[in-house]
Amino acid sequence: MANSSNKIVVPAARDAMDRFKMEAANDVGVTLKQGYNGDISARQAGSIGGQMVKKMIEAYENGLK
């Protein structure tokens, strides 16, 4: 039985995560469209994911201060 670890458990969080992803994409200069974005390169997708992680770490560190 496969268990996907990237499912959003709280449905209301999906909109916030989508906005966060769009903001991160904008920060690295990648244009995303609503819905399917399987046509972007692996490099672009990695840049977006990396930017998201960077922002999450910064938010966590700012919360500790």
- Per-residue confidence in pLDDT tens, the chain, 65 aa: 455 566 767 877 888 888 899 999 999 999 999 889 999 999 999 999 999 999 999 999 998 86
pLDDT of residue 2: 55
Pair 24, 48: CB distance under 8 Å: yes
State residue 15's pLDDT score. 86
The structure's pTM equals 0.75
Closest Cα partner for 30 from 50, 13, 60? Answer: 50
**pLDDT reported for residue 58:** 93
pLDDT of residue 16: 86
> Which residue, chain included where needed, has tokens 């997708």?
45
Q: Is 52 within 8 Å of 24 (Cβ atoms)? A: yes
